Chains A and B, each alone.
Chain A
Amino acid sequence: DAGVIQSPRHEVTEMGQEVTLRCKPISGHDYLFWYRQTMMRGLELLIYFNNNVPIDDSGMPEDRFSAKMPNASFSTLKIQPSEPRDSAVYFCASSFVASEQPQHFGDGTRLSIL
């Protein structure tokens, strides 16, 4: 069974540009999570969805960040406009709804904003 798939794996763009990160969760999983990982702040939860509905977006840093999940097999995280401080590795993870099921992570998108 395929794991969580993220694209692109690497993205380099200039400040002010729009960035869209994509995620395909594991089929059948009910939860989807977006995380950001930096050396300074570690792994931060940005937002998570249950059955395609956003449940908690309190970790989204500011209005420049938005996330959608139009269906059970696809989610996007968008940054518009991007800034150099947004440079980080962004991870998507998914899990079953049953309690104590582990989260399965994709291999991340390494984002560099110049």
Chain B
Amino acid sequence: QQQVKQSPQSLIVQKGGIPIINCAYENTAFDYFPWYQQFPGKGPALLIAIRPDVSEKKEGRFTISFNKSAKQFSLHIMDSQPGDSATYFCAASGSGGSYIPTFGRGTSLIVHP
């Protein structure tokens, strides 16, 4: 599987801050880039996803920025809340032989009250 590099490994912010998590990929065949949120002891849940034909997608307080030329995408959480404290995984998948999703290593986010 092609690797998806995710950073940082952990992130601590104050309530109201804007944590940013970054991911980079190598395989240009990837054409679907989701983010998943996972709480302890639970399975991941799809948070938001983007395709390469747009540079930004926003859903509520969550925004994905996508840079096709740099092969990078990032998740921004606006007005972060303590309830956002979780582990976030980026992923990439695509049609053809690379459709099996490849996950980043995950970012543990803590939002202090």
A and B co-occur in one complex: no
